[in-house]
Amino acid sequence: SQELEQSPQSLIVQEGKNLTINCTSSKTLYGLYWYKQKYGEGLIFLMMLQKGGEEKSHEKITAKLDEKKQQSSLHITASQPSHAGIYLCGAEFMTTDSWGKLQFGAGTQVVVTP
């Protein structure tokens, strides 16, 4: 979706290093959702952010939503091989014609090397 831009498109990180993925919206978000996908498989829900300035953590993954609710970041600390995969952000927008429509960014492929 051009309304939701993810960066980088891919990244390679050495095991134990940190990484950050960004998701930027051209419109104000009602909610921002992070999913992880292993190649060719279905998506697994990671986290949901709805309030401006909100931050959530689960194990070594932290997601933040900015105050304006247009940008989110996903940060992984001390990456492990299990963190490899494709990370996608999904969003619901604050517009009346967006109800029921969850749009996704193009995804960020993460490779973790030994």
**Binding site residues, other proteins, CB under 8 A:** 1, 4, 6, 9, 31, 33, 35, 40-45, 48, 88, 90, 92, 99-107
DSSP 9-25: SEEEEETT--EEEEEEE
Amino acid at 61: I
Q: 24 vs 104, which CB is nearer to other proteins?
A: 104
The Cα–Cα gap between 114 and 7 comes to: 23
| Cβ distance to other proteins smaller for residue 44 or 78 | 44
Least distance CB 114 / other proteins (angstroms):
27
Rounded CA separation 75/35 (Å): 13
What's the min distance (Å) between Cβ of 107 and other proteins?
A: 5
Amino acid at 82: S
In the bound state with other proteins, the residue whose beta carbon lies nearer, of 40 and 114, is 40
